[in-house]
Amino acid sequence: MTEQSTCVPAEINTGVPSAARVYDYLLGGGHNFASDRAVGSRVLQVLSAGREIAQSNRAFLRRAVLEMMDRGITQFLDLGSGIPTVGNVHEIAHHANPDIRVVYVDYDEVAVAHSQLLLEDDANATVINADLCDPEAVLGSPELPSLIDFDQPVGLLMVAVLHFVPDEKDPAGIVARYRDCCRPAAWSRCRTSPPTTSRRRWAVSSRR
Ligand SMILES: C[S@@+](CC[C@H](N)C(=O)[O-])C[C@H]1O[C@@H](n2cnc3c(N)ncnc32)[C@H](O)[C@@H]1O
């Protein structure tokens, strides 16, 4: 069975599950469909703590954003952002300072469509539809310069996403490319859902 929502482009088949919406389901959000809930239920069968892990990831995200803001970060690049509901970066940041700028990046068309709808009245937040494994496409995106100034400190976030990047794509190299672009004085926070490979652990711990 498929459902359609006003925040999903007509060409998207909601009968096909999306990682972003399955995650939204695990978080207790409302931006998911029967196909996503079916996968989410399977996930919970094999990983009974799936909801707690998702909520723990979200709590980590909150702590990371608040910590970076405490250290003077006023612009965030969130790679693999998912559907920005249930306490995401712009909500956390704008609660304290509406001038903080946030750019979300995701390659899931449904997540991007939801994000565009949620952010349409927010001049300080936007979403880019791009594959984070292609840093040149992300960093060369025409929407980026209006909100992110790489000459100023950037808060770089990759939360619950690096486990989607296969070793063949060199996750450490990808993280390094973004990290190097964010110098000087950038802060990055990465978190993967367990299990991680040792190579990926290296990637997430390689920068303060
Ligand atoms: C588990 S969700 C995490 C969402 C968000 N970071 C959070 O913590 O709530 C993973 C998201 O990463 C996105 N994603 C996975 N691989 C990606 C890639 N190569 N480029 C862009 N987005 C990607 C998925 O579409 C999904 O929305």
What CATH number does the domain containing 81 carry?
3.40.50.150
Does residue 24 fall inside a structural domain? no
Read off the tokens for 81: 């952002």
- Cα 51 to averaged position of ligand 1 atoms, centre (Å): 16
- Domain assignment present for 43: no
Which of 157, 160, 170, 167 is closest to 192 using CA atoms?
160
Q: What is the whole-number distance in angstroms between the Cα of residue 133 and the centre of ligand 1?
A: 11
Query: What's the total number of domains in the chain?
Result: 1
Token readout for 98 is 């509406």
Ligand 1 pocket, 193 CB below 6 A? no
Residue 131 near ligand 1, beta carbon < 6 Å = yes
Task: Quick: pLDDT tens for 97-116.
Answer: 999 999 999 999 888 988 89
* CA 25 – CA 46 distance, rounded (Å): 16
The alpha carbon of 95 and the centre of ligand 1 are apart by a number of angstroms equal to: 23
The burial of 53, by beta-carbon neighbours within 10 Å (0-12 exposed, 13-18 middle, 19 or more buried), is given as: middle
Q: Evaluate whether 61 touches 90 at the Cβ level (below 8 Å).
A: no
pTM, 2 dp: 0.87
* Domain enclosing residue 97, as ranges: 58-204
- CA 61, CA 77: separation in Å to the nearest integer? 13
The predicted model gives 39-67 an average pLDDT of: 93
- The per-residue pLDDT for range 142-181, each reduced to its tens digit, is 999 999 999 899 999 999 999 899 999 999 999 999 998 8
Is 85 within 8 Å of 184 (Cβ atoms)?
no
